């Protein structure tokens, strides 16, 4: 079965995660896809496939005779879709022999070269989109479908290989996908997440990341008697925003440039809260950003009184490159396999985080590979059947080269 055919089965299953829920999985509906995958894995010959109580699907393809001592390689993708856009009642649409021009996919959603210059390069391919009312779910059900197609090919064609370890994880989109994966049970020496963009993409750098929340306590009195008494918490929240560099926001940065991103601001005279996510690839610059946030807290408390402003910083993940550098052979292997498909490897820093970053810091070196998809997390999302086939070929090639 081709990867896109499996993909069509997976995207219609609602698996959106919920960042406001503490348990794992955050939504029980992720079990619907997990149990389907467990059954499909057993059907193609992965006899130990199972789903655990936290919705992690794992399974292994034993090494073929003579390759028992080969490195044990893992492939990982995630079950959930992003809460940014609806993932319910997804209706994938096939556009055969796409002409590369502007395409109205429905509900006022239009793919154009102005928005997406790469679409001209998809001319002649089998383009898969949404109907414009939901996201598509290529992030990351394309990765799941490609890993499943790879596994089926390896088993069916009796391709010699070392032990192959497969995992499908919940809640990646809300930052919890790697936390409870049993690495001992998984058993890989290293792994690849298949969760990126274009099929020639290889990622092994990501942001250092933190969440920063300022809570502000004001003093509310009648505005007619407020002079030298009122402390307006809402205005202090605005003051905090004004104290950060205006050019260091997501709208003004790219590549390895870091930023402060205001994600939420709310409050009134008496109480207010302003929240940021902070990102930088460079560990030193990241640390400097956190120090800037702390200095703002100190400055405002000196100005308005002790404990007026309370800052809480929560570090979220770190740049995986420091854990990948000692194992660069896994990156070079992937690049060689991408080149073997006639493509030039696209070596890009992730302007975000991945399960691979968290897994790398847990001791499992884990760069990220492309899925062939574009415009994730919304109704513009699209992918091609041919691009998915290419990723399957890359994965199969990696398995063979690792030996």
Residue 284 CB coordination number (10 Å): 9
Alpha carbon 39 to chain centroid, angstroms: 25
Q: Which of 186, 207, 170, 184 is nearest to 349 (CA)?
A: 207
Identify whether 157 is a catalytic site residue.
no
The torsion region of residue 132 among left (phi > 0), alpha (psi -120 to 50) and beta comes to: left
User: Which residue, chain included where needed, has tokens 């089926």?
Assistant: 152
* HEC letters along the chain: CCHHHHHHHHHCCCCECCCCCCCCCCCCCHHHHHHHHHHHHHHCCCCCCEECCCCCEEEEECCCCCCCCCCCEEEEEECCECCCCCCCCCCCEEECCCCCCCEEEECCEEECCCCCHHHHHHCCCCEEECCCCCCCCHHHHHHHHHHHHHHHHHHHCCCCCCCEEEEEECCHHHCCCCCCCCHHHHCCCEEEEEEECCCCEEECCECEEEEEEEEEECECCCHHHCCCCCECHHHHHHHHHHCCCCCCCHHHCCCCCCEEEEEEEEECCCEEEEEEEEEECCHHHHHHHHHHHHHHHHHHHHHHCCCCEEEEEEEEECCCHHHHHHHCHHHHHHHHHHHHCCCCCEECCECCCCHHHHHHHCCCCCCEEECCEECCCCCCCEEEHHHHHHHHHHHHHHHHHHC
Q: Which of 139, 152, 171, 172 is catalytic?
A: 172
Q: Tell me whether residue 65 is one of the annotated catalytic residues.
A: no
> What are 171's two structure tokens?
């809640």
Q: Of the listed 40, 80, 205, 248, which one is catalytic?
A: 80
Show which residues are catalytic.
Answer: 80, 172
């Amino acid at each position: 079965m081709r990867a896109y055919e499996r993909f069509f089965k997976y995207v219609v299953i609602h698996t959106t995660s919920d960042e406001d829920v503490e348990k794992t999985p955050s939504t029980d509906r992720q079990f619907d896809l997990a149990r389907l995958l467990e059954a499909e894995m057993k059907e193609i010959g992965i006899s130990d496939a199972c789903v655990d109580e936290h919705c992690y699907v794992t399974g292994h393809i034993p090494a073929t005779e003579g390759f028992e001592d080969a490195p044990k390689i893992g492939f990982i993708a995630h079950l959930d879709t992003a809460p940014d856009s609806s993932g319910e009642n997804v209706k994938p649409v096939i556009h055969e022999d796409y002409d590369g021009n502007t395409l109205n996919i429905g509900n006022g959603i239009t793919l154009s070269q102005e928005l997406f210059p790469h679409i001209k390069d998809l001319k002649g391919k089998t383009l898969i989109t949404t109907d414009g009312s939901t996201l598509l779910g290529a992030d990351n059900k394309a990765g799941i479908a490609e890993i499943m197609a790879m596994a089926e090919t390896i088993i069916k064609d009796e391709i010699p290989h070392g032990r192959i370890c497969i995992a499908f994880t919940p809640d990646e989109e809300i930052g919890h996908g790697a936390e409870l994966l049993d690495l001992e049970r998984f058993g890989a020496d290293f792994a690849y997440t298949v969760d990126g963009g274009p099929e020639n993409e290889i990622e092994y750098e990501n942001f250092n990341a933190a969440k920063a929340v300022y809570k502000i306590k004001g003093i509310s009195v009648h505005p007619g008697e407020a002079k030298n008494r009122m402390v307006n918490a809402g205005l202090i929240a605005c003051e905090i925003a004004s104290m950060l560099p205006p050019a260091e926001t997501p709208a003004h940065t790219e590549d390895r440039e870091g930023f402060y991103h205001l994600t939420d601001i709310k409050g009134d005279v008496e109480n207010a809260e302003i929240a940021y996510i902070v990102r930088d690839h460079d560990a030193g610059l990241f640390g400097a950003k956190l120090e800037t946030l702390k200095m703002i807290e100190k400055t405002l408390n000196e100005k308005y009184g002790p404990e007026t402003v309370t800052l809480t910083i929560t570090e979220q993940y770190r740049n995986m490159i420091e854990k990948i550098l000692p194992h660069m052979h896994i990156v070079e292997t992937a690049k060689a396999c991408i080149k073997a498909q006639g493509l030039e490897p696209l070596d890009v820093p992730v302007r975000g985080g991945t399960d691979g970053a968290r897994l790398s810091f847990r001791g499992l070196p884990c760069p990220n590979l492309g899925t062939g998809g574009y415009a994730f997390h919304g109704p513009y999302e699209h992918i091609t059947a041919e691009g998915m086939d290419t990723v399957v070929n890359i994965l199969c090639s990696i398995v063979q080269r690792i030996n």
